Amino acid sequence: MTNVLDRIKAYKLDEIAARKARCPQGEIEALARQASPVRDFAGAIQARIAQGDYALIAEVKKASPSKGLIREDFQPAALAAAYQAGGATCLSVLTDAPSFQGHEDFLIAARAAVDLPVLRKDFMYDPWQVAEARSLGADCILIIMASVSDAQAEELEAAAEAWNMSALIEVHDAPELERALALRSPLMGINNRNLKTFETSLETTRDLAAQVPEDRILVSESGMSTAGDLATLSGYGARAFLIGESLMRQQDVEVATRTLLSNPVRMGATT
Ligand SMILES: O=P(O)(O)OC[C@@H](O)[C@@H](O)c1c[nH]c2ccccc12
């Protein structure tokens, strides 16, 4: 039985092979070395949380396999600027074309419009892709535990470290979280959406949060749309949130971002 994630992995491996044939490791590394200096993605999230604020990773997302086209008027630079003005801490930009109608140029344009660190949101299997991400300017990569072996995850994380980039480790269940804890990255993403079935429930974060050690930053991912959702997830221990669709559906993205982030539960504050 093949699921969505398996299908994505199959075409992604073909895509990687074709790209590597056009631009071998040495060449992509040379391009990566010329890229704009790395912005500290994990550090920005850590700093925002330390201030008692929520850290928002705001996603530039045109379409998804489960929802189709999400936003008609899609201008990555303007959207990035709106996210930054609305209070986002970092950006995530989808670069996968077949399933998300993403593009490398969207990441380049979005990052150039702001001074926030940027996650390249794509399906990573090969250290070559990490160098490619850096060559585009990306500051962070995604490692989806459901789609890689332990050895692959370790190899991708090591590549991110070698480029001074952050890595967001994504899990959806307890066995994946267990495997993820063998890695070093402080950024532990709990995806509320099952990438094999698209089923989405904030209870995923509730059920796994207790198993995330204190020294990791819990990032709740997917399926959030209101300040109330953030408050609920904050009750489970999440202080960082990765949000795309609900913000992409708003006419005024800056106002929507600011509204979403209003009313944070200030840690340690008494009422
Ligand atoms: O649009 P949402 O429901 O707010 O979700 C954003 C982000 O979490 C989601 O796009 C995502 C999480 N993990 C992924 C892995 C690949 C592609 C996309 C994703």
Per-residue pLDDT tens digits for 181-240: 999 999 999 999 999 899 999 999 999 999 999 999 999 999 999 999 999 999 999 999
What is the C-alpha separation between 188 and 183, in angstroms, rounded?
A: 10
Residues in the chain: 271
> Using an 8 Å Cβ cutoff, are 190 and 218 in contact?
yes
Per-residue pLDDT tens digits for 87-109: 999 999 999 999 999 999 999 99
| Fold exhibited by the domain 4-261 | TIM Barrel (3.20.20)
Is the CB of residue 9 below 6 angstroms from any atom belonging to ligand 1? no
Q: Which amino acid is at 135?
A: S
β-pair partners for 94: 121
* pLDDT at residue number 268: 44
Q: Which atom of ligand 1 is nearest to the CA of 70?
A: 1
> Using an 8 Å Cβ cutoff, are 157 and 184 in contact?
yes
Per-residue pLDDT tens digits for 28-69: 999 999 999 999 999 999 999 999 999 999 999 999 999 999
> Using an 8 Å Cβ cutoff, are 257 and 82 in contact?
yes
Give the active site residues. 59, 61, 121, 170, 191, 221-222
Is the CB of residue 132 below 6 angstroms from any atom belonging to ligand 1? no
Distance of CA 26 to the CA centre of its chain: 27
What is the C-alpha separation between 16 and 26, in angstroms, rounded?
A: 15
* pLDDT at residue number 2: 85
pLDDT score of 138 more than 70: yes
pLDDT score of 269 more than 60: no
pLDDT band at 1 (very low <50, low <70, confident <90, very high): low
Average pLDDT over residues 104-122: 98
